[in-house]
């Protein structure tokens, strides 16, 4: 099977910018109206939201670029963590959903989810999603389609009226969120009672990225600023630490991490500043865990002593029982 057929099978069609073989002028591309059967190989269609158009590729750089059909013979030059970062950046931008992305690269959603849940340069190298995603991004690179940048946050001003979400959240164009006027009981000792599970915090993080367009680096700085106690990390959290927490699963998986607590404080201050009510889960968590909040000294991956024939079970509230 020739390389062109392999690319078509693995990834579908390339964007219009790559319809012609690299080095061939756009004018030489066969037109769709001509109905030519031997149309050049094209790969995945990378459509950006709205009417945004890709920047045209300079002819000189085009002539020096590899042919998209050569991707199948190229040596993979990015490890698993690098590809995972690209996938997360694409998904966080809101340009494409995980389901649509999985379909685009020709694998199942479970394969993408399983790949994203792993950590390490070689972890996930056997996943179909790793190879397919690498080809996807490599073809984008050859076609001149850059990864999406974060959406610009709306600035506060005369356009945003009083009480608007932008104004209430204290957003600025590029700077951090201003939550300095909100104080929580116990925050000076990093002892604010937590009434959200780790899974709920992960959901809030995902929603925050899609809504605000905040970069991962800025978000890490924002949540790090919520810590004051002696255990406060000297440096802001890293994107790798954030990615590891986000890819975990379970009500208390990650509860021991300072990042989890800092994120809770951050989102609780945002909720108060925006005047949003407590969710049903939040009220149920308060009823169960008041006054101290969810214990942050345990994880479902910890060892538990049980009687023979029984095993520990963690419910959706983070409560551990033995059955």
Does residue 159 lie in a domain region? no
Residue 9 sits in the same domain as residue 122: yes
Containing structural domain, residue 76: 3-45+68-143
Q: Is 202 exposed, middle or buried (0-12, 13-18, 19+ CB in 10 A)?
A: buried
pLDDT score for 170: 41
Does 137 reside within a domain? Answer: yes
- What letters, b where the CB count within 10 A reaches 16 and e where it falls short, cover 151-187? bebbebeeeeeeeebbbbbbbeeeeebebeeeeeeeb
How many structural domains is the chain composed of? 2
Q: Are 14 and 125 part of one and the same domain?
A: yes
25 and 128 in a common domain: yes
Dihedral pair phi/psi, residue 251, rounded to 5°: -60, -30
Q: Are residues 125 and 188 in the same domain?
A: no
Helix locations, 93-193, DSSP H: 98-105, 109-116, 128-143, 165-169
Output the pLDDT for position 286.
Answer: 96
Q: Is the pTM of this model over 0.75?
A: no
**In-domain check, residue 122:** yes
Per the domain annotation, does 188 fall within a domain? yes
Is the omega angle on the peptide bond into residue 291 within 30 degrees of 0, that is, cis? yes
- What b/e string do you get for 211-242 counting C-beta neighbours within 10 Å, with b at 16 or more? ebbbbbebbbbbbbbbbeeeeeeeebbeeeeb
Task: Indicate whether 264 and 196 sit together in one domain.
Answer: yes
Residues 125 and 7 reside in one and the same domain: yes
Low-confidence stretches of the chain (pLDDT beneath 70)? 1-70, 72, 149-177, 300-304
Q: What is the pLDDT of residues 152-202, one digit of tens each?
A: 443 333 333 333 333 334 443 345 667 888 999 999 889 999 999 999 999
DSSP string for 81-116: HHHHHHHHHHHHTTSS-HHHHHHHHTS-HHHHHHHH
Q: Which three-class secondary structure state does DSSP give residue 62?
A: helix
Whether residues 125 and 225 fall in one domain: no
Q: Structure tokens of 244? A: 């590891």
In a domain, residue 262? The reply is yes
Do 231 and 122 share a structural domain? Answer: no
Task: Give the number of other Cβ atoms within 10 Å of residue 68's Cβ.
Answer: 29
Q: Is residue 227 helix, strand or coil? A: coil
Question: CB neighbours of 117 closer than 8 A, spacing ≥ 6?
Answer: 247, 248, 249
If asked whether residues 182 and 228 sit together in one domain, one would say: yes
3-state helix, strand, coil in the chain (%, to 5): 45, 0, 55
Are 138 and 183 in a shared domain? no
Closest CA to 261 of 290, 235, 295: 295
Same domain, 72 and 134: yes
> Do 234 and 283 belong together in one domain?
yes
Question: Which residues are registered as beta bridge partners of 312?
Answer: 322
Burial (CB count within 10 angstroms: exposed 0-12, middle 13-18, buried 19+), residue 106:
middle
Q: Dump pLDDT digits (tens) for 8-50.
A: 444 554 443 333 333 333 444 444 444 444 434 344 444 444 4
DSSP bridge pairs for 321: 313
Q: Give the angle subtended at the CA of 207 by the CAs of 139 and 268, to the nearest 5°.
A: 145
Catalogue the long-range contacts made by 231-236 (C-beta closer than 8 Å, 24 or more residues apart). 231/190, 231/258, 232/190, 232/258, 233/258
């Amino acid at each position: 099977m020739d390389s062109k057929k392999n690319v078509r099978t693995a990834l579908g069609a390339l964007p219009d910018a790559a319809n012609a073989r690299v080095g061939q002028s756009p004018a030489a591309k066969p037109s769709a109206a001509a109905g030519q059967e031997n149309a050049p190989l094209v790969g995945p269609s990378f459509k950006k939201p709205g009417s945004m158009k890709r920047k045209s590729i300079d002819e000189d750089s085009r002539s020096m670029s590899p042919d998209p059909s050569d991707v199948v013979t190229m040596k993979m030059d990015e490890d698993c963590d690098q590809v995972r970062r690209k996938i997360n950046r694409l998904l966080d931008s809101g340009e494409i959903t995980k389901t649509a992305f999985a379909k685009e690269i020709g694998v199942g959603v479970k394969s993408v989810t399983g790949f994203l849940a792993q950590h390490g340069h070689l972890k996930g190298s056997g996943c179909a999603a790793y190879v397919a995603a690498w080809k996807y991004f490599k073809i984008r690179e050859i076609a001149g389609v850059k990864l999406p940048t974060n959406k610009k946050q709306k600035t506060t001003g005369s356009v945003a009226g009083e009480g608007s979400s932008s104004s209430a959240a204290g957003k600025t164009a590029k700077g951090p969120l201003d939550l300095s006027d909100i104080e929580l009981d116990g925050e000076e000792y990093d002892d604010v009672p937590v009434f959200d599970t780790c899974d709920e915090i992960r959901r809030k993080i995902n929603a925050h990225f899609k809504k605000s367009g905040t970069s991962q680096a800025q978000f890490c700085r924002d949540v790090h600023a919520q810590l004051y106690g002696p255990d406060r990390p000297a440096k802001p959290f890293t994107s790798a630490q954030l990615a590891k927490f986000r890819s975990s699963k379970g009500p208390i998986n990650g509860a021991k991490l300072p990042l989890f607590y800092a994120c809770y404080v951050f989102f609780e201050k945002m909720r108060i500043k925006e005047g949003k009510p407590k969710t049903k889960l939040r009220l149920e968590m308060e009823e169960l865990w008041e006054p101290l909040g969810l214990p942050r000294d345990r994880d479902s991956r910890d060892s538990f002593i049980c009687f023979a024939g029984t095993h520990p079970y963690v419910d959706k509230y983070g409560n551990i029982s033995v059955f």
